[in-house]
Amino acid sequence: MAKLPADAHAGKARTEKASKGDKDTLATGSVARSAKLASIPLSAMGRSAVGFGRQMIGQSGDLVSKEMQAKTAEQVFRVLGELKGGAMKFGQALSVFEAALPEEFAAPYRETLTKLQEAAPPLPARVVHRVLAEQLGEDWRDNFAEFNDKPAASASIGQVHRGVWKDGRQVAVKVQYPGAAEALISDLNQIQRFAKIFQLFMPGLEMGPLLEELRARIIEEVDYKYEAEAQRICAAEFDGDSDIAIPKVVAASDKVLVSEWLEGTPLSRIISKGTKAQRDAAGIKLARFHFTAPTRVGLLHADPHPGNFRLLDDGRLGVLDFGACNRLPNGFPEPFKRLLKNALDGNAQALYEGFKKDGFILPEVDVDPQLVLDYLLPLVEPLREETFKYSRDWLRVQSARVGDPRNPTAKIGFQLNLPPEYMLIHRVTLGTTGIFCQLGAEGKFLAEAISWLPEIAPTAQSSRA
């Protein structure tokens, strides 16, 4: 089986100097982005003052709080939806947690969240042409029988154009925004300064680690040659697969990536309008890809949001965007599998000892093993039932449970440690779970996991311990 080489990524993105016009545009854009981002905490503080005033004149504190949360959330996602760079990347990562929000907050801006997964304002055609000329040569048009100047999709660091390659293949041409790396870093720095604002309407979601992990992915994501290498290896391994489709790479440079076009229905549309059969099929195939890629190719697709997946007419799940990947040359780490098995077995002492050994509980921390098990068991519930149905309600209950400081079990979460090498696996798992819940997917997820990770199979009669 193909594996991603350990040295596939040199660790540094290659960036070309922009023209003076592009530099001026970048500087102006950076100032505008900073101003928009700064408006979020300022507006939130203003709403807090207004809310206090309303309570002083007799309005219900709960009513005021809900109104403030709704308005804060609405503004956050509206602002993020207008931006590229790190702001949009953060918004995309945040969007998969929409399913954890109370319905009265989630409903008004679910459409905005979906837009974050699929689109952003496009670059002018002249800028796209300049990037293509710099990356593919002045005769870049000779590579194409057709090229559509209007983007088919836009994302956080680049936009996609549709074209026809010179050999007749339908292709997707991803063009990186000039100054994308600088914009990512600048925006994430801004967002990090007021991360706590997001917890006004997403209590229990730790923004700090999420932002730090996103920062670590920047260098990889702006290096399209690295992305192309990961995509080539995945496409070769899954070529002919009956469940997963990955487009083949046609050409790649530092800032341009040409892949075969993958026709299909965006997962966001399956979530909003798909049949139950489509949603269930998408869920189980997403789980299959999540469980199999580390074993088959030594990597974990690390950008799980609906904009990166398609449901093809033949029933396969199409997977896009390999810019962010967690390299796992030996598959999922053994401690991860061992701890999951202990949780599924309901073995509190073995789970506790494993947590201690592998650094999930620091040496100086002493907690009740049973409380640790009680904290984790509901989170692995989808793998403790023969058939499980994910839902927004289930995720809301779990989010509230682990985020409520009054809950004795929830306090365990603050005593656990997440070693850095597991941060990305943790985020991808949470993000994928968010998509399952948005889909409302139902299926045999335990059997799917065991078929690829037989080590986690619960001991007989223990899965309901």
Supply the DSSP symbol for 18. Answer: P
- Token readout for 81 is 């939806």
Neighbours of 410 (CB within 10 A): 17
- Under a CB-based contact definition with an 8 Å cutoff, are residues 161 and 152 in contact? yes
Apex CA 114: angle with CA 112 and CA 117, to 5°? 115
Distance between CA atoms of 208 and 195, rounded to whole angstroms?
Answer: 7
Is 167 a known active-site residue? no
Using only C-alpha atoms, what is the Rg of the chain?
Answer: 23
Per DSSP bridges, beta strands 244-245 and 170-176 are: unpaired
Name which of 87, 119, 448, 95 is nearest 290 in CA terms. Answer: 448
- Under a CB-based contact definition with an 8 Å cutoff, are residues 188 and 144 in contact? no
Give residues with Cβ within 8 angstroms of 155, minimum separation 6. Answer: 88, 92, 120, 307, 321
SS3 for 146-201 is EEEEEEEEECCCEEEEEEEECCCCEEEEEEECCCHHHHHHHHHHHHHHCHHHHHHC
| 391 strand-pairing partners | none
Distance between CA atoms of 432 and 300, rounded to whole angstroms?
Answer: 12
* Selected catalytic residue, list 303, 321, 345, 358: 303
Percent helix / strand / coil, the chain, rounded to 5? 60, 10, 30
Distance between CA atoms of 60 and 111, rounded to whole angstroms?
Answer: 29
Report the first-to-last Cα separation within the chain, whole angstroms: 37
Per DSSP bridges, beta strands 317-319 and 244-245 are: parallel
SS3 for 101-138 is CCHHHHHHHHHHHHHHHHCCCCCCHHHHHHHHHHHHCC
Name which of 119, 121, 120, 140 is nearest 129 in CA terms. Answer: 140
Name which of 354, 428, 389 is nearest 279 in CA terms. Answer: 389
Active site (catalytic) residues: 303
